[in-house]
Amino acid sequence: MNDSCIAAVKIDQDLCSRCAVCYSLCPFEAIERRSEDGRLRIDIQKCQVCGICYSSCPSAAIDMAYYDYDDLIGNVQELRVQEKADTLVVMCRGNTANKDEVKEILSQNGLEGCGHISIRVPCAGRIPTDFIFKSLNLGFQRIVSVQCQDGFCRMKEGTGIETRRLMLSKAVLKQLGFAEDSLIMIKHSRKAVWISKECVGCGKCYFICPYEAILAEPFSSPRVLTDKCVGCGACQLVCPHHAIQVKGFEFDTILNSYQRLASKMKASNKAPAIMVFSCQWSEYSALDDPLKLLKEHNAIVLEVPCFKGLDPVHMINALRSGFDGVMAVICPAKDCKLQKGRDTSERQLEVLLSIIERYGLRDRFEVHELSPRCEGEFDRRFRDFIQKISTLSRCGRDAQGGM
């Protein structure tokens, strides 16, 4: 983190009552309490921007740069009217990828066909009870909270805190006469899926999995242990036959999403065309408001659950497909939410850089370690990157590696 970091989470000392609720709940021990007067301060270097303090503060003394509740409620209301939705789905960013998957989750839970809109937050634990009541007041018949499974919360305590909050809210809603299904909790976490017909039994996935989530018994095919799999994607990266893939982030899903757009963006003549691969936890603003970025620039952002599962083929292929520059945004080592197997991503990055160098494309590719804790940091780096790419001539690019 640099000196110019604008903290994304702040305590307003004038509003703070020194109750220390935030201090006792912060899962990362990022809040300090001064013994003389009880004054609380956030150590932004330790903060993981989970928002648990924000949703818990009874004095509304904590400010967050992302997901301001008034904005969230405003957006939800606008979408509700547009889509004529009766159900609001609130998902943690760690468990849902696209519209089809939300529909699948809803139908698995007997809610198929309900008119819904969905919003995503970094952690379920940052949704306060207030938000639930306000949303029901807007006219939604039900709120569905899709939380990561117990033990799989990337913010350690988010799922546990939100589960307790929602159980309490449910009891209050019942007393107020709301229907039993006005608040539904679903636990869901992303897992690797093994595709038996593609598997040749090489066992590479078994050896790479840092979470011991693959069972390989003699003379039988490997099996994903869903109670251990965290969906990091390390197995997907090494499988030569794409026989094991993380749902929602399959090789072809990622490939199709940028290849389809590459030719369109190239044709738009709004050079340069930029592709950003980003770890889900390293950046929020571009991932959650991609339209903002797309409107202003000729760029797309593609998120991945963890850098260790991102195939370097995509980065090279993105440049071959017509993107003028590719940026990879990853978490600094200390912030990685899937710490095990961190060495895999480091090795992978080394290999990627050497290949890119060999192709003569090094100046068109940058890796940035970022965290949402510094507001505007991604925007600054992104703009600098675009500026740099703009100065590289297209004919210079055509000469590179025969692209």
Shortest CB 338 distance to ligand SF4, Å: 8
- Specify the stretch interacting with ligand SF4 by CB under 6 A; choose among 65-73, 206-214, 251-259, 315-323: 206-214
Number of residues lying near ligand SF4 (CB under 6 A): 27
Q: Among 7, 16, 30, 293, which residue sits at the site for ligand SF4 (rule: CB under 6 A)?
A: 30
Shortest CB 301 distance to ligand SF4, Å: 22
Dihedral, CA atoms, 353, 46, 55, 14, nearest 10 degrees?
Answer: -130
Shortest CB 38 distance to ligand SF4, Å: 16
Q: With binding defined as CB under 6 A, does residue 52 bind ligand SF4?
A: yes
Q: Among 7, 16, 40, 48, which residue sits at the site for ligand SF4 (rule: CB under 6 A)?
A: 48
The DSSP code sequence of 333-388 is GGG-SS-TTHHHHHHHHHHHHHHHHHTT-GGGEEEEE--TTBTTHHHHHHHHHHHH
Of 344, 116, 372, 97, nearest in space to 238 by CA = 344
Of 312, 318, 299, 325, nearest in space to 396 by CA = 325
**By CB neighbour count within 10 A (0-12 exposed, 13-18 middle, 19+ buried), where does 290 fall?**
middle
CA atoms within 13 A on the CB side of 224: 23
- Specify the stretch interacting with ligand SF4 by CB under 6 A; choose among 47-55, 271-279, 324-332, 356-364: 47-55
Q: With binding defined as CB under 6 A, does residue 28 bind ligand SF4?
A: yes
Please, which residues bridge with residue 374 across strands? 7
- Specify the stretch interacting with ligand SF4 by CB under 6 A; choose among 50-58, 159-167, 181-189, 280-288: 50-58
Q: Are residues 303 and 257 in contact, defined by beta-carbon separation less than 8 angstroms?
A: no
Q: With binding defined as CB under 6 A, does residue 262 bind ligand SF4?
A: no
Tokens of 125: 């634990």
Q: Which is nearer to ligand SF4, 124 or 230 (CB)?
A: 230
Q: With binding defined as CB under 6 A, does residue 57 bind ligand SF4?
A: no
Which one-letter DSSP state was computed for residue 137?
H
Please, which residues bridge with residue 20 across strands? none
**How many Å is the Cα radius of gyration of the chain?**
22
Q: Among 235, 265, 276, 389, which residue sits at the site for ligand SF4 (rule: CB under 6 A)?
A: 235
Helix axis angle, 129-138 to 158-175, nearest 10°: 50
Instruction: Give the span between the Cα atoms of 302 and 219, in whole angstroms.
Output: 38
Q: Which is nearer to ligand SF4, 62 or 85 (CB)?
A: 62
Q: With binding defined as CB under 6 A, does residue 232 bind ligand SF4?
A: yes
Q: With binding defined as CB under 6 A, does residue 16 bind ligand SF4?
A: no
Q: With binding defined as CB under 6 A, does residue 209 bind ligand SF4?
A: yes
Instruction: Give the span between the Cα atoms of 387 and 11, in whole angstroms.
Output: 35
Q: With binding defined as CB under 6 A, does residue 158 bind ligand SF4?
A: no
Footprint on residues 236-255 left by ligand SF4 (CB under 6 A): 246
Read off φ and ψ for residue 304, nearest 5 degrees: -135, 150
Q: Among 7, 16, 40, 50, which residue sits at the site for ligand SF4 (rule: CB under 6 A)?
A: 50
Q: Among 51, 94, 122, 322, which residue sits at the site for ligand SF4 (rule: CB under 6 A)?
A: 51
Q: Among 7, 40, 49, 302, which residue sits at the site for ligand SF4 (rule: CB under 6 A)?
A: 49
Shortest CB 47 distance to ligand SF4, Å: 3
**By CB neighbour count within 10 A (0-12 exposed, 13-18 middle, 19+ buried), where does 166 fall?**
buried
Strand, helix or coil for residue 128: coil
Q: Which is nearer to ligand SF4, 106 or 230 (CB)?
A: 230
Shortest CB 254 distance to ligand SF4, Å: 15
Q: Are residues 132 and 185 in contact, defined by beta-carbon separation less than 8 angstroms?
A: no
Q: With binding defined as CB under 6 A, does residue 230 bind ligand SF4?
A: yes
Q: Among 89, 90, 91, 213, which residue sits at the site for ligand SF4 (rule: CB under 6 A)?
A: 213
Shortest CB 248 distance to ligand SF4, Å: 12
Shortest CB 379 distance to ligand SF4, Å: 20
Question: Where does this chain bind ligand SF4 (CB under 6 A)?
Answer: 9, 26, 28, 30-31, 42, 47-53, 192, 209, 211, 213-214, 224, 229-235, 246
